[in-house]
Structure 1
Amino acid sequence: MNYILFAVPFFFLLIGIELLADRWRGMQTYRLSDALNSLSAGVLSTTSGLLTKGLGVVTYAIAWQHLAVFELSSASLWVWVFAFVFYDFCYYWNHRLGHERNVLWAAHSVHHQSEDYNLSTALRQTSTGFIFGWIFYLPMAVAGVPPVVFLTVAALNLLYQFWVHTRHIPKLGWFEWVFITPSNHRVHHAQNAVYMDRNYGGVFILWDRLFGTFQEELDEEPVVFGVTVPLVSWNPLWANLQVYAHLWNDARRAGSLRDKLRIWFMRTGWRPDDVAQRYPMEKPDLAAFRKFDVPLGRARQWYAGLQFGTYVLIGTWLLGVGEHWRLLPLTIGWAWMAFGLYAIGCWLENRPWALRVEVLRLVLNLPAVAGLALVGGIALPQWAGWALAVYTLLSFIGLLGLRRAERQPQAA
């Protein structure tokens, strides 16, 4: 059962409730561009997952079939409890090393790039974590945890983490000693020196207390959210590639072959001496920290929001039906989604070429559907093509309306 698919409506319902709480309490934990960027990364992650999740599932199943030491039954309650706790232990080390090693941070950094902290941040997930993430859960297969149990507890672990991404819930007393809470997870998303690289658990904070990585949220040290090398973009593709690109450039510039290779697996932030001297990387002063933002008119914000809403609907549909598709149609669907989210990012950044990219996105809508049907062999409902045609036409009308409205003040 795809628990994440069924949870999507509740995610957006809770985001709506948090927005109401913002208004009621006079807080501002959301900015449209930042939230759309986080949600775009999430949509891209789930779409990419349809292409890549087979790696983790297949390797786990093979390890379970050939390396399992014990025969654990999915019919036993204690196996489920054991697996739930064991998964969080493995998650702790996956998460911790995701902060401590360059190549793993390249994947995980996406989740930390938001300079706001709200429920949309929870959905800001990586599209490249599949490369190494599966390795950390193989001990569960060796212990004999059946794949169906593993997949279920993995989904439950992820679902639990959603609610802790909020600034509206204070410390929760004794609960803070055992479980991950909004307070101790706010610490995890901070770029303050005192908070850096702390509180890695997914459900249980006990691992952090046991292995010396726990840090309490301090009243005298307000959390500053984000990463020390800011993304400075609303582009979800660049969000996933930023750290890889920095590592590649450093590896390419390094004079030593040894440095070219080891930079990927050194501690996060490590750079070869010769590269660091020739290409120093300045980090912003936290005392003068300012969130990245691009001024955007209200009409353009509405347009971006409505376009993104369409991608949420289509992405949710893909998540529901794509599991049964072959690789070719999945690739076509992923490319269509990725380019569309890129176009929305260009729009939010008010790039000079954003309008041209947006027009190209709309022009490619019908060819993308035709590709799914003709090349990918997907039997789409008869109304799908007509619905996409109407959506594309309305979008063009909206673009023309925006252009006309923006020219009127100049003519006056």
Structure 2
Amino acid sequence: MNALALPLAGMLLAMLGELWVLSRHQRLTAGNPVQTEPWLEAIANLNSGHLVLWFFRGLEVAGYAWVWQHARTSALAGWPLWAVALLAFVAWDFGFYWLHRLHHRIGLLWAVHAVHHQGEHFNLSLGIRNSWLSSLSSLPFFVPLALLGVPVEVFVAVSSLHYTVQFYNHCGLVERSGWLDRVMVTPAHHRIHHGANPEYIDKNFGGTLLVWDKLFGTFQRPVPGVQIRYGIAGWRPSYNPLWLNLQPLLQWLGWHRAAQLPRTPARPPQRRDRALVVAGAVLLFANVVVAVHRQAPWPDAAQATLWAGLVLQTLALGSWSDGHGRAAWSLAAVGISLPLLQGLAFDQRDALTLLPLLAMAAFSLLALSTSWTRRAA
């Protein structure tokens, strides 16, 4: 069993639970004028923050491991593990502050980071939404840890701890965090960072510790009477993770038409379709959790086929969320093929593997039927 499966399932439940509470109390939009539907945006956030992102995260760790193996110094030789971990914790957060600040200052880096700021609703799902390339653009800021000799295992553990704190920092239910607000970055501070108001732009870059913003003059408290507006200008909202990631990069490369893409159909998803998108995303992520859980015992070909199929389903679901009914055909084709391939070609016939895949296949057929019915109407 892969130890990541349970935290991933917990992350999904926390995200859905928070969205449900926010919707019950009519706090999903917080009175802000927005272009995106909260639940569909949350699903887009989720779909942008797994699979392909994890692949590039693996490349980041591999790059770090290569530097550690070939270029590390003996600076930390003889240090006890707790001291190495403590140094890594503080140094990682210092590096994150500067990578975050420079991702707001340098055009290419902003084209990567802008994906995270496109979200118009502040909730836990926004903490999952990141550019697929963010791990690659972050690696140079953490190379000094490898050069110092911080082991790969410590780097991964410290990174995971910081990312967990940052997930919490996007909680839309929490207004204040007590004494933590005085020493750590909390939702009270980080929601200001996401503000598109002139008073809040390029403030509160810290990830975990508050000291860096205060030390380098970028700390900002809430301004009385100024309601926070989220999102960024100059992009056409999409729920497809492919466009979420490509559009800022294409604009940076000078293709100005990218600001007008994708061409969202005139008939956006109806309420029933939105419920289906949420259900499909939950089923899709359940398959991701099972795949992570079963990763070790599977043959390589079965794993590669499954991961590729889940990525294709993620993109098809995103396109369908944008209102492109024909994407349901792609969703159905992959949804039906995956359980057949896993069960017949790779002999993976246990219930834990097949039942989530069959549920996703049934969902894809329902999505196809819904799109066909709407098109015929």
Q: Deviations over 1:71-111 (max 9, x none)?
A: 35685322222211111111111111111112212222211
- Pick which of 226-235 and 133-142 moved more: 226-235
Give the residue type in structure 2 aligned to 1:15.
Answer: M
Given that 1:74 and 1:146 are in contact with CA atoms closer than 8 Å, whether structure 2 keeps it comes out as no
Given that 1:186 and 1:217 are in contact with CA atoms closer than 8 Å, whether structure 2 keeps it comes out as no
Give the direction of change, closer, same or farther, for the CA distance of 1:114–1:294 in structure 2 (3 Å limit): farther
Report the secondary structure of 1:56's partner residue. helix
Q: Deviations over 1:333-359 (max 9, x none)?
A: 4442332222222222223xx2x2212
Give the direction of change, closer, same or farther, for the CA distance of 1:335–1:12 in structure 2 (3 Å limit): closer
Give the direction of change, closer, same or farther, for the CA distance of 1:330–1:100 in structure 2 (3 Å limit): farther
Given that 1:4 and 1:155 are in contact with CA atoms closer than 8 Å, whether structure 2 keeps it comes out as no
Give the direction of change, closer, same or farther, for the CA distance of 1:108–1:25 in structure 2 (3 Å limit): same
Shift of 1:374: 8.8
Which of 141, 146, 149 matches 2:146? 141
Structure 2 Cα separation of the partners of residues 35 and 230 of structure 1: 18
Give the residue type in structure 2 aligned to 1:88.
Answer: D
Structure 1 Cα separation of the partners of residues 259 and 310 of structure 2: 34
Give the direction of change, closer, same or farther, for the CA distance of 1:379–1:169 in structure 2 (3 Å limit): same
Give the residue type in structure 2 aligned to 1:304.
Answer: V
Which of 306, 310, 327 matches 1:357? 327
Q: Deviations over 1:97-150 (max 9, x none)?
A: 111112212222211111111111111122112333211111111222111111
Report the secondary structure of 2:163's partner residue. helix
Corresponding residue for 2:32? Answer: none
Which of 40, 63, 66 matches 2:47? 40
1:336 and 2:309 aligned: yes
Structure 2 Cα separation of the partners of residues 216 and 315 of structure 1: 39
Give the residue type in structure 1 aligned to 2:42.
Answer: A
Given that 2:213 and 2:219 are in contact with CA atoms closer than 8 Å, whether structure 1 keeps it comes out as yes
Structure 2 Cα separation of the partners of residues 406 and 55 of structure 1: 42
Corresponding residue for 1:179? Answer: 184
Alignment of 1:255-266 (within 5 A): none
Q: Deviations over 1:8-58 (max 9, x none)?
A: 232233234423542564423482111111111113xxx124533343223
Structure 1 Cα separation of the partners of residues 306 and 79 of structure 2: 35
Give the direction of change, closer, same or farther, for the CA distance of 1:324–1:125 in structure 2 (3 Å limit): farther
Structure 2 Cα separation of the partners of residues 37 and 315 of structure 1: 15
Give the residue type in structure 1 aligned to 2:271.
Answer: R
Give the residue type in structure 2 aligned to 1:34.
Answer: E
1:124 and 2:93 aligned: no
Which of 193, 199, 203 matches 1:198? 203
Report the secondary structure of 1:196's partner residue. coil
Report the secondary structure of 1:225's partner residue. coil
Alignment of 1:62-141 (within 5 A): 62-65=66-69, 66-72=71-77, 76-141=81-146
Which of 341, 349, 358 matches 1:381? 349
1:51 and 2:20 aligned: no
Which of 244, 268, 274 matches 1:301? 274
Structure 1 Cα separation of the partners of residues 52 and 257 of structure 2: 34
- Pick which of 179-188 and 360-369 moved more: 360-369
The TM-score with structure 1 as length reference comes to 0.77
Corresponding residue for 1:12? Answer: 12
Given that 2:2 and 2:295 are in contact with CA atoms closer than 8 Å, whether structure 1 keeps it comes out as no
Give the direction of change, closer, same or farther, for the CA distance of 1:3–1:246 in structure 2 (3 Å limit): farther
Corresponding residue for 2:223? Answer: 218
Given that 1:50 and 1:319 are in contact with CA atoms closer than 8 Å, whether structure 2 keeps it comes out as no
Shift of 1:173: 5.7
Give the residue type in structure 1 aligned to 2:365.
Answer: F
Given that 2:241 and 2:315 are in contact with CA atoms closer than 8 Å, whether structure 1 keeps it comes out as yes
Q: Deviations over 1:135-168 (max 9, x none)?
A: 1111111222111111100000000111121333
Report the secondary structure of 2:206's partner residue. coil
Report the secondary structure of 2:102's partner residue. helix
Q: Deviations over 1:270-303 (max 9, x none)?
A: xxxxxxxxx79999xxxxxxxxx98532221222
Structure 1 Cα separation of the partners of residues 203 and 349 of structure 2: 49
Given that 1:180 and 1:202 are in contact with CA atoms closer than 8 Å, whether structure 2 keeps it comes out as yes
Q: Say which one has the larger Rg.
A: 1
- Pick which of 365-374 and 52-61 moved more: 365-374
Report the secondary structure of 1:249's partner residue. coil
Structure 1 Cα separation of the partners of residues 64 and 288 of structure 2: 26
Shift of 1:362: 1.1
Shift of 1:318: 3.1
Give the direction of change, closer, same or farther, for the CA distance of 1:24–1:85 in structure 2 (3 Å limit): same
RMSD over aligned Cα atoms: 3.3
1:396 and 2:361 aligned: no
Q: Percent identity?
A: 27
Given that 2:28 and 2:121 are in contact with CA atoms closer than 8 Å, whether structure 1 keeps it comes out as no
Unpaired stretches in structure 1, ≥5 consecutive residues? 251-278, 284-292
Residue-pair matches, total: 363
Given that 1:72 and 1:79 are in contact with CA atoms closer than 8 Å, whether structure 2 keeps it comes out as no
1:319 and 2:323 aligned: no
Structure 1 Cα separation of the partners of residues 342 and 104 of structure 2: 39
Corresponding residue for 2:263? Answer: none
Give the direction of change, closer, same or farther, for the CA distance of 1:315–1:193 in structure 2 (3 Å limit): same
Structure 2 Cα separation of the partners of residues 117 and 49 of structure 1: 21
Give the residue type in structure 2 aligned to 1:8.
Answer: L
Given that 1:64 and 1:144 are in contact with CA atoms closer than 8 Å, whether structure 2 keeps it comes out as yes
Give the residue type in structure 2 aligned to 1:312.
Answer: F
Given that 2:342 and 2:349 are in contact with CA atoms closer than 8 Å, whether structure 1 keeps it comes out as no
Give the direction of change, closer, same or farther, for the CA distance of 1:372–1:200 in structure 2 (3 Å limit): farther
